[in-house]
Structure 1
Amino acid sequence: MNISVVIPLLNEQDSLTELHDWIANVMQSNQFSYEIIFIDDGSTDDSWKIISQLASTNKSVKGIRFLKNFGKSQALHAGFEKAMGNVVITMDADLQDNPDEIPELYNMIAKDGFDLVSGWKKVRYDSVVSKNLPSKLFNWAARKTSGVHLNDFNCGLKAYHIDVVKNIDVNGEMHRYIPVLAKNAGFGNITEKVVQHQARKYGVTKFGVNRFIHGFLDLITIWFLSRFGKRPMHLFGSLGFIMLTIGFGFALYLGIDKLYLNPTGRLLTQRPQFYLSLSTMIIGTQFFVAGFLGEIILRTKQDKKLYLVKEELNLN
């Protein structure tokens, strides 16, 4: 199979039929063998009913229905697990991503040899205040922190070699950082392509300004995981060593001063250095404990699915 199109969605009943027809026309005109995997992330409208109708008339349409809303990352993870195409294309279901981009994205993976091609919505039709400016700030921070030089990390339109999606773990809200996850897994041949962004035709956006707050918090998480995810003791142990060194340094100073330099001076408990020494040693010990716990958890963790599937269509 040439292409798997993975489409997570939430309450997009108005756009699904039009999106399906558009994708099917692109595939047929380019003679691609394909599948379209819709992941219904807990929709409360008629989205699943429409997906079922599409699957009954087109065997290339497949569906996964979550028991409730688990989030875009979990939806992508479920789609990646089922994908069978040599190239996997992800796009949003709101018709803001253009399926006519698919052939060129496919060729960049299948012929040019890229591991991942990320879309770049250079011209956007979103609100400048609520989306454009926060997005620019977010992407700048992501570039500086991750070392992956993309202009639009959060673009839903991306293309992957099948090996990439089968070897990365997308969970939490890490869908924004799939290029970083791919790089950390060893897939470093990553590029981007300017893609057409279209104004939303139906419904309303499911994401607010708070997604950027969550995005920055996730950025800190992925920075930590990429640098210390397999060796948390290196970070916490280093911090603990620094704090303990400071604490013992003050304690040594206080001891020498009290015993030899100023034995008749103030009591140790009346000197601020005593509490500084005590606090830093306690904090240093806590850092060491955190490092040990991180190492233990890392070695005993068990993989667990973070979503529950209610129904599937045309999937083995």
Structure 2
Amino acid sequence: MNLSIVIPLLNEEESLPELHAWILRVMETMDISYEIIFIDDGSTDGSWDVLDTLSRKHETTHTIKFLSNYGKSQALHAGFHKAQGEVVITMDADLQDSPDEIPELYHMIADQHHDLVSGWKKKRYDSVIAKNLPSKLFNWAARKTSGVQLNDFNCGLKAYKATVIKNIDVHGEMHRYIPVLAKNAGFSDIAQKEVIHQARKYGTTKFGYERFINGFLDLITIAFISKYGKRPMHLFGALGVIMFMLGFITAGYVGFSKLYKMANDIPYGLVTDNPWFFIALTTMLLGVLFFIAGFLGELILRNGNQVNRYRIEKEV
């Protein structure tokens, strides 16, 4: 199999027939074997009925239906697991991504041998305040944090070598940062391509303002995992030791000053009258807790079991 096209969706009943027909027209111009994989992320409209009909009519079209809405990252994870192509292209189902970009994206992976090619929607038709400005902020923060120099991490139109998507774990809201996950997994040949962005033709966006909060939290997670995901003790253990030693030194100073005053008949009160005693005690306790957190992180990392983050109801 040369190419797998993976398309996650939620309530896109109106756009699916047009999108599918458009992809078929594009694929007729390419002399390669391919498959189209739709993942219905718990749609409540007639999306599944449309997909079921398409998959029965076309042997190259496959569909997955989730029991509930688990999120785009989980949908991509399921699609990546099912994909058989040597090259995998992802795109959104709302017709804002153009299937006409597929041939060039495919050749950038198959012929130019990039590990990953990310689309760049340089000219966007989204709301400036609701999506454009927050996206620019996200992209700037992601570049500074990860070192991956892409202009548009949020673009759903991407192409991958099969080895990339089989060796990364996309979960939570991490779909925005797949290039970062790929880099962390050892795939450094990451390119970008300016792609067409079209105005939404049917329905409304499925993403609200909460995605920006989740995006920032996921960015922090990515930054932590990039450096300490395989060695949490190196962070928490180091912080724990430093804080414990600072507290221990402060406690020693408090104790020494009391002994000095006793030896020189200088009036003194109880040790607990000195606020530095409580500062030292708190710092030492926090140091111990940080160390324990690092130790538990190492245990979880070595003994944790992988669990499914979604449930599939049907596959066709």
TM over 0.5, yes or no? yes
The aligned residue for residue 272 of structure 2 is: 269
1:10, distance to aligned residue in structure 2 (A): 0.4
1:2, distance to aligned residue in structure 2 (A): 1.6
The aligned residue for residue 296 of structure 1 is: 299
Q: 1:236-271 CA deviation, whole Å, 9 max, x = no partner?
A: 011111111110111111111000245532321111
The aligned residue for residue 219 of structure 1 is: 219
When structure 1 is superposed on structure 2, of 88-97 and 52-61 the one drifting more is 52-61
Hey, what's the Cα distance between the residues in 1 that align with 2:234 and 2:222? 16
Contact 2:119 2:158 in 1 (8 A): yes
The aligned residue for residue 147 of structure 1 is: 147
Letter in 1 for 2:140: W
Q: How does 1:28-43 map to 2 (within 5 A)?
A: 28-43=28-43
Letter in 1 for 2:226: S
The aligned residue for residue 287 of structure 1 is: 290
Hey, what's the Cα distance between the residues in 2 that align with 1:148 and 1:265? 59
Give aligned pairs, total.
Answer: 313
1:25, distance to aligned residue in structure 2 (A): 0.5
Hey, what's the Cα distance between the residues in 2 that align with 1:104 and 1:268? 74
SS class of match (2:305): coil
The aligned residue for residue 128 of structure 1 is: 128
Hey, what's the Cα distance between the residues in 1 that align with 2:67 and 2:116? 30
Any unmatched runs of 5+ in structure 1?
A: none
Q: How does 1:111-260 map to 2 (within 5 A)?
A: 111-260=111-260
Q: 1:276-304 CA deviation, whole Å, 9 max, x = no partner?
A: 10110011111011011101101111111
For normalisation by structure 1, the TM-score amounts to 0.98
* Two-structure CA RMSD over aligned residues (Å): 0.9
For normalisation by structure 2, the TM-score amounts to 0.98
Equivalent pairs: percent with the same residue?
66
Letter in 2 for 1:277: A
Hey, what's the Cα distance between the residues in 1 that align with 2:167 and 2:25? 31
Any unmatched runs of 5+ in structure 2?
A: none
SS class of match (2:39): strand
Q: Which runs of at least 4 in structure 1 moved beyond 4 Å after TM superposition?
A: none
Hey, what's the Cα distance between the residues in 2 that align with 1:95 and 1:183? 29
Hey, what's the Cα distance between the residues in 2 that align with 1:31 and 1:13? 29
SS class of match (1:68): coil
Q: 1:70-97 CA deviation, whole Å, 9 max, x = no partner?
A: 1101100000001011110000000000
Q: 1:79-118 CA deviation, whole Å, 9 max, x = no partner?
A: 0001011110000000000000000000100000100000
Q: 1:10-66 CA deviation, whole Å, 9 max, x = no partner?
A: 000000000000001100112231100000000011101000111111110000000
